[in-house]
Amino acid sequence: MLESYVPIFVMIAGGVIFGVVMVKLNEWFGPHRPNDEKLSTYESGMEPIRSARERFSVKFYMVAMLFILFDIEVVFLYPWAVSFKQLGLGGFVTMAVFIFVLFLGYFYVWRKGALEWD
Amino acid sequence: MFSYTPLIVLFPLLGFLVLGLFGSRIKNEKLLGILGSGTVGLSFLVAVTLFVQMLGMHPEERKHVVDLFTWISAFTGTSSSLSVSVAYQVDQLSILMTLIVTGVGFLIHVYSIGYMHGDPGFWRFFAYLNLFIFAMLNLVLADNFVLMFLGWEGVGLCSYLLIGFWHDRKFEVGGYKPGTSTTSDAAKKAFIVNRIGDFGFLLAMFLIFVNFGSLNFDAVFGRASVVSEGNSAMVWIGLLLFLGATGKSAQIPLFVWLPDAMAGPTPVSALIHAATMVTAGVYMVARCSVLYALAPTALHVMAIVGALTAIMAATIALVQNDIKKVLAYSTVSQLGYMFLAMGVAAFSAGIFHVLTHAFFKALLFLGSGAVIHAMHDEQDIQKMGGLKHQLPTTYKTFLIGAIAIAGIPPFAGFFSKDEILWRAFSSEYGSIGLWAIGVIGAALTAFYMFRLVSLTFEGEKRYGQDLHPHEAPKTMTIPLIILAVLSIVGGFVGIPASLFGGNSIEQWLEPIFAPAYEKLRMEPHPVEITEYLLMLLSVCVAGAGIYCARVVYLRRSKLADSWKAKYPGTYRFLFNKYYVDEMYDTVIVAPTVKVSEGFLWKGIDVKVIDGIVNGSAKLVGMLADVIRRVQTGIAQQYATIFVGGILLLLIWLIVQ
Amino acid sequence: MGITFSDITSSAPLVSLVLFSFLTLIVESWGKDKPVLSYWVSLLGVGVSLALSFGHLGAGIPVFGGMLLQGGFAGYCNLIFLSSAFLTILLSRGYLERMECHRGEFYILILFSTVGMMLMAGALNLITVFLGIELMSVSLYVLAGFMRKKVRSNESALKYFLLGAFATGFLLYGIALIYGTSGTTDLVAISKLFPQLSHNPIFLVGCGLLVVAFSFKIAAVPFHMWAPDVYEGAPTTVSGFMSTGAKAAAFATFLLVFVRVFDIAGTSLSQVIAVIAAASMIVGNVTAVAQTNVKRMLAYSSIAHAGYMLSGIAAANVEGETGILFYLLAYTFVNVGAFGIVSIMERQDDKKLNFEDYEGLSARRPALAVLMTIFMFSLAGIPPFAGFFGKYYVFLAAVKANLTWLAILGVLTSLISVYYYLRLVVLMYFREGDADLDHSVPRRSMIALAIAAISIVVLGLYPSLIVDLTRSFFKI
């Protein structure tokens, strides 16, 4: 049974070896002449002026989190849509319940003011 | 109808709960009294209805078990599974005991309303009494040993609480230095002495479980009928159960607590230490008659101990001066008769005596209570005399009680005592020696009872001029009258065949004891001429005792003092109760205290046990300190330990 | 595979609780800042579900296409979770109001996590197990950090979340390995394959990882490290809820998977669990001795109790199962009650949580002192309180399964535990002190504590009430 995994192990091993070898080769052959300019952060040509470790407003996280939540849930609609005909009425009812629960969450978020920016 | 059985037990419990929880807030004594005695009265009514129904039934239908719920279950699935139910068994024996407990109990409750009038602990007293009735009913109605033991311990607890009811009053307790002890010492003594007996009961229960694989009466007695004779375990069970009985029913060697139990209020002495609780041992032996049938040796021991107790207590009672102490020793003596009956396999005669004794001894105690009440807590009969004019009702009822206990026909005591004496003589397990001791005891009984009557009620008054005794209130006299009537007619339920009676109590109890009689191969006796002769003899002896007492204490009152002077050794020996308390003190108590203090406490306890305890505590503390260091509060470390745990676990699983 | 109407009716307690949690959510979002309304709705929801559960104690029925078991075993476990939730809700309102963080979300989260627990106790499929555990845990993560202005509470939530997520990873990996070797996630199907699979190392590793994940949830050594910190930081009533409801749910799944479905008696899995049990007893009890904070002491004590109960699982027999089921119910009442009293004693900013703050409590608050004494006696396993019989049954099970050493260790470590439980009693009764409250205890809290205490006494006097019931569930 374990034999069937051999190709996968070979693949993984090949990948790791290839990656390590490439990086090491680069390090070995490439010239090393560092100076301040070279070691500074590359910011699309902008002058880096402050630390990048700053506190962001929690609002960003809020929106991002809610987006991810509803985004992922909505993904479930795709497989359902594809097999809509096979699932029939039962599938429709189940999905309606699912959407209802999703909507409850949305309602809560909305009423609690999580969607308001100010 | 049988389904109402739990009500009998429930009412006193409710009474206890209500009185115990809210009693202190109820200021009205009348209401408290009605609550306290009403619950017992209700139980009595239920029991009477049940009894009447049972009378109309076929003897085989008279037994019924009401299973309420499973209380403990363990070892299920094995051959000896322990399943203990709270279940009440009504049969001919237990209904009889229930009637005694609730009936006499009710009368004593009513009496207590008058007796305890004005006491600050009035509600507490009734709460305890109700609890006692509840426990006692559990004892007699239980259908297994464990529930019976619960009741057994429960009545012991109530006895303790009630003996020490006036816990800071001075009371001379045997075995203590004079003037140093209080009623709570008497309570403690009763409790501790009973513990020894309870230990025997417990061991017997263990042995029963080991041998029969159950603690349920039906199962044990059913399996007992197939046990072969001469099984030594049966003898041990019988003897250990009897040890339990000697504690509760105050027999040699554990009788010492009962006289000191008189420290309690007099209704308590009447209810617990005369009519009901102390007969629990007799009831238990009767209940286990089948087991005793397998161990005739235990029966012999019981008969001898009973006879010796009967005569020893009677001799002590001859010289006591405290009215309640005389009655206490009388109780011990009468209980001895009951065990004598049990020991000669006359089980129904013993139970019959329990019944009549409950009537006349409760009567005598309540009468003495009325006297004490009238005399403002004076209990010394040397300081009484001539009270029959001031306390006419008490005197008449007390006299009836005294005649009944002396064994003069047709009063109740005659029939039951004579039955016992006849059986002691005629039974296969009796002997002429046992009978002779019984007859001498009967003579002494008649003597000391009439000494008591003469000194208390007759002759000249010997109390101070400032005392004006008066008759007790109605709540106290009415129970006295009822009990007096019962002491007269109570014996008619057991008129023997020789006196052309049907001995209905024996017939009633017959199905209970039939298996035991069968095992013992007892044949019913035909009426013999000897029976009449012996009956006549015992009546004569009793009459002689009465006559002597009246002569000595009324007509020639110098005689008693001259005897006292002539035989000072004997007198002191009897007055000091054979020095049993002192003997126990030197042989058991003092060495125990010495060993406990010197060796067990200062040696073993302080050095060894404390050393081990402190040492292990130190070890645990050190270990805790180490483990605590691991708990750093850093989540990464927690995860590391987590992974370590997983690795160990998986390695174990794979290596295995 | 479709959902039938009988599926819904058979799982009425679960369905009704789900609907009520939705209702609470709606109520909470509709009427802003009216947490009292959520309190009542959630209390009603738990009450209704509790009432329905009593009707579902008969034979267990698989529902939803064999994904879930309802009735019987699951019905009994629901009683435990719902009692825990009910008492927690009652006790929390006054506490949260005093701590100035009374919000309706608290109750919603309690309901959601209870739904998760109910799913766990009825799981007949590893997917349902996972679903239930996550639903319960995610709600609990938030509950642990419910006092969001308190650093300790935040720390508690974060630690619980991080380590919980870690454990979930192992759970999933275990499920994957079991699926890989057996080809199914259906527990009944796996149980049929168990005899031949039990020698397959990959399957065993999968089972071992499940043991790890469950041990994490019940806080057994060495997967217990989170418990003291989390219990200490979380709102006190939540600690009570976590140590009872959540623990009971994890034990229910543990039992379901390892005793009912896989018969692990006598296998190496049973040995591993016995070792975990022993380690939990020792570490929990020994460390509890050194604590000065009552909440932390209760946390270690809860580790120790997990150890006692695990010995019932290691025994994997009828006695073990009935013992654990009895133990869980008793422990739920005891611990919710004990944490409830701690929550009443507690002041703002973690004040009055130490042992010495209980000195002389009996003089001023006799009722609280009596209740706490009952809880401590029960925890110590002193008869006639329910805790005694719980221990008795699980140790009996261990002896019957030839794990006598475990039972002896259990008794010895229980002896250690008497020290720290009774220490509190001694402080309350025999020390002079001025322990008192500066607020009045709401009646609903006292009712909850009284329910807990009465249940303990009743269960202690009449254990066969539960034991006979639970014995009837054995084998689905």
C314: exposed, middle or buried (C-beta count within 10 Å: 0-12, 13-18, 19+)? buried
- To the nearest whole angstrom, how far is the Cα of B247 from the nearest Cα of chain C? 27
Looking at residue C79, its amino acid is L
Residue C124: its pLDDT value, please? 92
Considering only residues C169 and B21, tell me which one the structure prediction assigns the higher pLDDT. C169
What is the percent of chain B where pLDDT is above 90?
Answer: 42
pLDDT at C303 over 80: yes
- To the nearest whole angstrom, how far is the Cα of A19 from the nearest Cα of chain C? 27
Residue of C nearest to B634 (CA): C159
Q: Which of A25-29, B90-94, B559-563, C235-239 has the lowest mean pLDDT?
A: B559-563
Task: Write down the mean pLDDT value for chain C.
Answer: 91
Q: Do chains C and B touch (3 or more CB pairs under 8 A)?
A: yes
What's the angle, vertex CA C463, arms to CA C461 and CA C468, rounded to 5?
Answer: 150
Looking at residue C243, its amino acid is S
pLDDT at B558 over 80: no
B70 touches chain C (CB under 8 A): yes
Q: What is the mean pLDDT of residues C284-298?
A: 91
The residues, any chain, with a CB within 8 Å of residue B395's CB and separated by 6 or more, are B387, B388, B457
Q: What is the mean pLDDT of residues C260-283?
A: 89
pLDDT at B510 over 70: yes
- Taking contacts as CB-CB distances below 8 angstroms, the residues of chain C near B71 are 462, 464
> Are B631 and C287 inside 8 Å of each other by CB?
yes
Number of residues that make up chain C? 476
Residue C371: its pLDDT value, please? 94
Rounded Cα distance between C431 and C362, Å, is: 9
Interface test with A, best of C1, C5, C7, C25 (most A CBs within 10 A): C25
- pLDDT tens-digit map of B265-297: 999 999 888 888 999 999 999 999 999 988 888
C266 touches chain B (CB under 8 A): no
C292: exposed, middle or buried (C-beta count within 10 Å: 0-12, 13-18, 19+)? exposed
The residue whose two tokens read 């008795």 is C392
- Taking contacts as CB-CB distances below 8 angstroms, the residues of chain C near B72 are 463-464
* Distance from the Cα of residue C124 to its chain's centroid: 20
pLDDT at A9 over 60: yes
A5 touches chain C (CB under 8 A): no
Residue B201: its pLDDT value, please? 93
SS3 content of chain C, % helix, strand, coil (to 5): 75, 5, 20
Residue B80: its pLDDT value, please? 58
- pLDDT tens-digit map of B361-388: 999 999 999 998 888 888 888 888 888 8
pLDDT at B470 over 60: yes
- pLDDT tens-digit map of B594-649: 888 878 777 777 788 788 878 877 888 888 888 778 888 888 889 999 999 999 99
- pLDDT tens-digit map of B415-468: 999 999 999 988 888 889 999 999 999 999 999 999 999 989 988 888 877 788
| Residue C99 DSSP SS3 | coil
Of B4-8, B137-141, C317-321, which one has max mean pLDDT? B137-141
What is the percent of chain A where pLDDT is above 70?
Answer: 97
- Taking contacts as CB-CB distances below 8 angstroms, the residues of chain B near C419 are 617, 620
- pLDDT tens-digit map of B111-152: 999 888 888 889 999 999 999 999 999 999 999 999 999 999
Q: What is the mean pLDDT of residues C217-238?
A: 93
> Are C29 and A111 inside 8 Å of each other by CB?
yes
> Are A104 and C32 inside 8 Å of each other by CB?
no
Residue B546: its pLDDT value, please? 92
Residue C2: its pLDDT value, please? 66
A94 touches chain C (CB under 8 A): yes
- pLDDT tens-digit map of B196-232: 899 999 999 999 988 888 888 988 888 887 777 667 8
Domain ranges of chain C: 9-471
- pLDDT tens-digit map of B326-349: 999 999 999 999 999 999 999 999
C276: exposed, middle or buried (C-beta count within 10 Å: 0-12, 13-18, 19+)? buried
Residue C242 banded pLDDT, cuts 50, 70, 90: very high
Of A15-24, B268-277, B471-480, which one has max mean pLDDT? A15-24
Residue B75 banded pLDDT, cuts 50, 70, 90: low
pTM for the full predicted model: 0.69
Q: Which helix (H) or strand (E) holds B335?
A: helix B323-343
Q: What is the mean pLDDT of residues A14-25?
A: 94
Token pair of C197 as six digits: 């699979």
- To the nearest whole angstrom, how far is the Cα of A32 from the nearest Cα of chain C? 41
A108 touches chain C (CB under 8 A): yes
Superfamily covering domain A58-111: NADH:ubiquinone/plastoquinone oxidoreductase, chain 3 (1.20.58.1610)
Residue A1: its pLDDT value, please? 63
List the end-to-end C-alpha distance of chain A, in Å, as a whole number. Answer: 59
| Residue B436 DSSP SS3 | helix
| Residue in A90, A101, A112 closest to C29 by CB | A112
A16 touches chain C (CB under 8 A): no
Residue of B nearest to C159 (CA): B635
Q: What is the mean pLDDT of residues C237-241?
A: 96
pLDDT at C1 over 60: no
Residue C476: its pLDDT value, please? 43
Rounded Cα distance between B567 and B577, Å, is: 16
